[in-house]
Amino acid sequence: MSGKRLLTKLVVATLLVLVLGKFTACEPEDWMLSIDCADCYGYAPDSANLIINLTINAENDSVPLTFYLGNYEDGVIDWQDTATIEEFFLYSKMNSSYTVRATYRSGDRIIEAFDADEMTLYNANSECGSPCYIVKGGIFELGLLE
């Protein structure tokens, strides 16, 4: 009898770890337990919007952005721009890794914020019917901490 109880506890603990892992994932799209078929593209796009979340305030009414292909350390600049809104979009190549740098001012100091992500396609044909492609990733959290 104690062997069955141990096995039951082990199964429950394993399921709990798997479910909690879903909700502690780093990216918001990793939290999804189900696919939203309304997000489907009927074709496999070669580009989509990167989404950059920023802080725009009185001291930082515009934020310079630098988009790097791959790692920042590689130094391959793909695009430079200046954001004046808190949710900035940049139409970019799919299946690529990007690092984004935002440069803020705080008095006489310069604060640089970095985030990296990869924008990929998920084939949701089996969940939503054929054809269905969903863009995952490409979300950068570069806002200042309160």
10-21: pLDDT as tens digits? 555 555 555 554
Q: What is the mean pLDDT of the chain?
A: 85
Least confident of 15-29, 53-67, 114-128: 15-29
pTM listed for this prediction: 0.74
Burial 94-123 (b: 16+ CB within 10 A, else e): bebebbbbbebeeeeeeeebebebebebbe
Helix (H, G, I), strand (E, B) or coil at 12: helix
Model confidence at 31, pLDDT cuts 50, 70, 90, reads very low
Is it the case that residue 40 has pLDDT exceeding 90?
yes
138 alpha carbon, distance to own chain's centre: 5
End-to-end CA distance of the chain: 54
pLDDT for the residue numbered 129: 84
pLDDT for the residue numbered 9: 56
Distance CA 67, CA 76 (A): 9
Distance CA 42, CA 14 (A): 37
In CATH, the number for domain 34-141 is: 2.60.40
* Per-residue pLDDT tens over the stretch 58-109: 999 999 999 999 999 999 999 999 999 999 999 999 999 999 999 999 999 9
C-alpha distance from residue 38 to each of 6, 31, 41, 42, 102 (Å)? 43, 17, 9, 11, 32
Residues 6+ apart with CB under 8 A from 23: 31
Place of tokens 């044909």: 125
Q: How many CB atoms lie within 10 A of CB 54?
A: 24
